[in-house]
Structure 1
Amino acid sequence: MPNKMTIKQRINVGFILAIAFCLVLASNRLNRRSYNILEQTVSSVYEDRLVAQEYIYQLNNLFHDKEMQFSNASLQQKKDVVTDNINQIFNDFADTELTAKELVYFTELRNNFDQLQQLESQMADESGFISQRNKVLEAINSNLDELAEVQLTEAQQLTHRSQKSLKVSKLLSSLEIGFLTVIGILFLFIVFYPNKRPNWY
């Protein structure tokens, strides 16, 4: 190895080091972006999907209690407690991040619940009222099924997004190692074999 590098050597070495620095910087920023996507999707799967699924499960049980109240007069004393619990879960559910489709189903669910409460205040035994209540309860069950399906679809999409981000991060890491290896070889070639280096200028 020569004791002193020529000006051209220094320029070439500086050029290679600059490329290496830019490569590492760009790779770092892209990896950080991938990790941010992963963090957001994992957080969303829990906060907006698993928690929402738990709310749907609780609502399903509470509306089942409502059905039991209609058929059993002795359960009427629990009516206000069940209604308050449903309203509380509605408020909690509204605080999650709702998709456009989810918002439509959730709005329908609340409207159907309002309609059910109106019918509930008319606790008549006439077949017309009973038929209306059953129809509204069927609509509510359908809304809950639709909301549960949205949770599954959204969770699948978030999982797919996470997997895609991981693949991109893995590919970038492999490319970074490859480029740094090539740059290292070029650097050594310029330093140890100055007379045989390619003339880039």
Structure 2
Amino acid sequence: MKWTIFIQQKIKVAMLLLCIMFFVILTNLLGSNNLDNINRSVNSIYNDRLIPATDVYYISDYLHKKKSLLDNIVITKGEYQKAVAELKDINVKISRLVAHYENTYLVNGEIQFISDFKTTYNAYNTTEAGIIRLIKAGEVSEAQHVLNNDVSRLHHQNIQTLGKLVSIQSNVGRDLIKQSESNANIFSLLSSLQIILAIVIGGMVVRLVMASRLTNAVHEKYTMN
């Protein structure tokens, strides 16, 4: 009888230990997955949101410089060689920034807007080259007309499109932050559950040990009688 009770208690303890092992493994796997998700979200915020937003800022700045240089070319008329060289250098820099932006993770809205920007930007560069040809040909009035109309319109469209890209960056970044917070909350919940379960299991083990001692004491008393 004593050995039967002893074995039953051992089986109960073994089952509890198996439950602990299963829960610990499960929570560790879930916790590890949540940490990976948090890490991916943080990396995405930096690599796919912060860096591209910086690219957009520099592109916008270069576009304003291009417009200013073109204004000066029309105003100064014959003195344009240096400004043209600067425009070519800026065009190379913008192309690199756009290519870098396209290599990041893009949501659907970004894909459309970056495509729109490239179309308008190419049209701007074509118009810019046309103005320079007009200046070289001495047709300053025509160059001024194109500058005030086509160039101003295309420049405004470029800046507007970049503004939409920045807005998307902000919205997606906000969503990534919310996702990271959600993953962090889940990880915290799993950690709390581990602590609670450890306390509950500890209490149950103590109770089993006390019950085992009580059973032994009763059995010894019964044997003595």
How does the TM-score come out when normalised to structure 2?
0.82
Over residues 50-103 of structure 1, what are the superposed CA-to-partner deviations in whole Å (9 max), with x where a residue is unaligned?
A: 101110111011100111122111422311101111111111111111111111
Say what the alpha-carbon RMSD is for the aligned residues: 2.0
Q: Secondary structure at the match of 1:40?
A: helix
SS, match of residue 212 in structure 2: coil
Alpha-carbon distance between aligned partners in 1 of 2:5 and 2:55, rounded to the nearest angstrom:
70
Question: Aligned AA for 1:6?
Answer: F
Relative to structure 2, which stretch is displaced further, 6-15 or 124-133? 124-133
Distance between the aligned counterparts of 1:147 and 1:99, measured in 2? 10
Equivalent residue letter for 2:179: R
Match of 2:106 in 1: 98
SS at match of 2:190: helix
Three-state SS of the structure 1 residue aligned to 2:152 is helix
Cα distance in 1 for residues equivalent to 2:214 and 2:181? 46
Q: Secondary structure at the match of 1:72?
A: helix
Query: Which has the higher mean CA deviation after the structures are superposed, 125-134 or 149-158?
Result: 125-134
Correspondence 1:85 to 2:93: yes
Amino acid across the alignment from 1:122: G
| Runs of 4+, deviation exceeding 3 Å | 2-5
For these two proteins, the number of residue pairs brought into alignment is 196
User: Which secondary structure state, in structure 1, belongs to the residue aligned with residue 104 of structure 2?
Assistant: coil
Which residue is equivalent to 1:191? 209
Counterpart residue number, 2:184: 166
Identity of aligned residues (%): 20
Q: How far apart are the structure 1 equivalents of 2:69 and 2:111?
A: 28
Question: 5+ residue gaps in structure 1?
Answer: none
TM-score by length of 1: 0.91
- List runs of 5+ in structure 2 lacking aligned partners: 74-79, 135-140, 216-225
**Which one of 195, 200, 203 corresponds to residue 177 of structure 1?**
195
Give yes or no for the alignment of 1:25 onto 2:25: yes
Paired AA for residue 178 in structure 1:
I
The structure with the largest helix share of the pair is 2
Deviation at 1:112?
A: 0.8
* Residue-by-residue CA offset, 1:137-156 (whole Å, 9 max, x unaligned): 11100011011111111111
Aligned AA (1:38): I
Aligned counterparts of 1:4 and 1:163: Cα–Cα separation in 2 = 52
Label 1:178 to 1:138 Cα distance change in 2 as closer, same or farther (>3 A).
Answer: same
1:175–1:161 distance in 2 versus 1, CA, 3 Å: same
Q: Which amino acid aligns with 1:133?
A: V
Are 2:124 and 1:116 aligned? yes
Tell me how far apart the structure 1 counterparts of residues 184 and 85 of structure 2 sit (CA, whole Å). Answer: 54
